[in-house]
Every structure is written in C-alpha cells, then in structure tokens.
Amino acid sequence: MQAETAMRTPARHRVQRTRQRASYEREAIHAILDAGMLAHVGFCIDAQPFVIPMLYARDGDAVLLHGSIASRLMHRLGEGIPACLSVTHVDGLVLARSHFHHSVNYRSVVAFGRATLVEDPVHKAAALAHFVDALIPGRAAESRPADRNELAATRVLRLEIEDASAKVRDGGVKEDAADLALPYWAGVVPIRTQHAAAQPDASAGDMGLPASVLALLAQGARA
C-alpha cells in the first residue's frame, strides 16, 4: 500500500457500478477491516477458483491469516500467488414500495495482494497474539502464548494490500416518484451484531469474567 492517504486505484479494482459509493482512502478501508473478523479469500490454483472463509486481523497495511501447516491452500497462498480478500458488513434491510428498489445498507472492502510466510518464531508468536487481541482487545495478556509445538503446527501469512477499495451503501429508501403514493410501508430495518452473556467453561469454576470479556460485553450494552 502506498504511503499517501489515497490508495492506488488500478483498473482491476476501480468500482464501476454506483461509483459514488466507492472510496479508495486508507482510513475508510482500515475502518471497515477493523470492524470485522471474517474474510473471504479468493485465489486460483491450476485454473480452479477457490473462495475460503478465514479469520483475519489487520496489521498496518497488511492482513494476517493463519491455518494448519497441513493445509495445501495455505501452502500455495504462502508461495505468493495473487489473492483477493473481501469483507462485508450488512447494516440494515432497506424495504421499498417496489420489489426493484429493495436493498441493503452495507460496508465492504475488496483488497488485492500476495501473501508471504511469517517464518521467524518471534514474529509468528507476535502475529498470533495480535490475532487474539484483534478478536477481543486485551485477551492475549489473559491467556497462554503459543508454545514451540503450536508455532510449528501453524502457518501464518502476511498478505500485503497492494490495491483496495471500499464501498458503502447507507441511508434510506430510494423510490420512484410514482411509487410514493402506493399503500405500502417503506423504511430501513437496522441490523446489529451483539455479544450475548458469556458462558464459562465448566472447568473455570467460580473464576470471574476477565477484564477483556467484561469490556466487550459493556461495549455491546452501550451500542
């Protein structure tokens, strides 16, 4: 990713449809990536396309991925083949008076790049700790780091974002003027993801919830 605020926007990912919803700004792209944890990673092997759902964590201008060393797909990604990563958040159902204008509010990112293996044990352990903290901030310090055997069994990839775009649809219903008088309800039904009550493992006994989980639940209560 280039050092300036706006990312490069080559033809391979310049938004063509509803261009007014597109952004190539680093801050917008980072914000959407940071709000998620599940990406769909696309790539081709021997002319066969694959799209794999994977947990991810942003690290600067790169995205970290991890999986088993036995994974053929992780191995091939680590060889640096071209890859495409997409993340989407659905924020609301947009219900119009006509079938045609029904839609959803969403935030999405599509990024292109090539992955490299993180091989240094110290860097690999730090990447896995970053993964844990990306899921729940502060959790890495409340749990055991990966040991030598676990590091050896795990492949960590760093996918440098070469080109990316964000696309956002927000706001209300877009109707044809002729439909406004129709006797049908129109509006937006927001969609929110919220954490439910924590369920301690049976072996945890009477141990109270850790600070990271309490903060996560408190954040959800304020949403």
Rounded-to-integer distance, Cα 26 and Cα 16, Å? 19
The pLDDT of residue 100 is above 70: yes
Cβ count near 27 (within 10 Å):
10
199 within a domain of the structure (yes/no): no
Percent of the chain with pLDDT over 90: 78
Copy the structure tokens of residue 187.
């509006």
Asked whether the predicted pLDDT for residue 128 surpasses 60, the reply is: yes
- What is the predicted pLDDT for the residue at 204? 87
Spatial CA neighbour of 58 closest among 82, 80, 26, 89: 26
Number of domains in the chain: 1
Using the predicted structure, report yes or no on whether residue 4 has a pLDDT greater than 60: no
Does 85 score more than 50 pLDDT? yes
Query: Do the domain assignments include residue 197?
Result: no
Residue 212 lies in a domain: no
Task: Report if residue 221 sits inside a domain.
Answer: no
Instruction: Label residue 13 by pLDDT band (50, 70, 90).
Output: low
Average pLDDT for 147-176: 94
User: Is 7's pLDDT higher than 80?
Assistant: no
Mean pLDDT of 52-60: 96
Is the model's pLDDT at 112 over the cut of 70? Answer: yes
In this prediction, residue 12 carries a pLDDT of: 63
- Phi and psi for 12 in degrees, rounded to 5? -65, -20
**CA Rg, the chain, in Å?**
21
Range with the largest mean pLDDT of 69-73, 120-124, 203-207: 120-124
CATH of the domain at 150: 2.30.110.10
Q: Give the residue numbers spanning the domain of 54.
A: 11-175+182-191
Determine, yes or no, domain membership for 220: no
Contacts of 33 (CB under 8 A, 6+ apart): 56, 58, 63, 87, 109, 111
Q: Is residue 196 part of a domain?
A: no
203 within domain boundaries = no
pTM of the full structure: 0.87
In a domain, 3, yes or no: no
List of residues 6+ apart from 212 with CB closer than 8 A: 136, 137, 138, 139, 142
The token pair that represents 51 in the structure block = 């799209």
pLDDT at 9: 47
What pLDDT, on the 0 to 100 scale, is given for residue 8?
Answer: 54
Confidence of residue 15 (pLDDT cuts 50, 70, 90): low
Q: From its phi and psi, is residue 33 left (phi > 0), alpha (psi between -120 and 50) or beta?
A: alpha
Residues in the chain: 223
* 3-class secondary-structure state, position 23: strand
Find residue 187's DSSP bridge partners.
95
18: left (phi > 0), else alpha (psi -120 to 50), else beta? left
Q: Which amino acid is at 213?
A: V
- Give the pLDDT confidence score for residue 205 in this predicted structure: 84
List alpha helices for the chain, DSSP H: 26-34, 72-78, 121-135, 148-152, 211-222
Strand 62-68 vs strand 38-45: parallel, antiparallel, or unpaired? unpaired
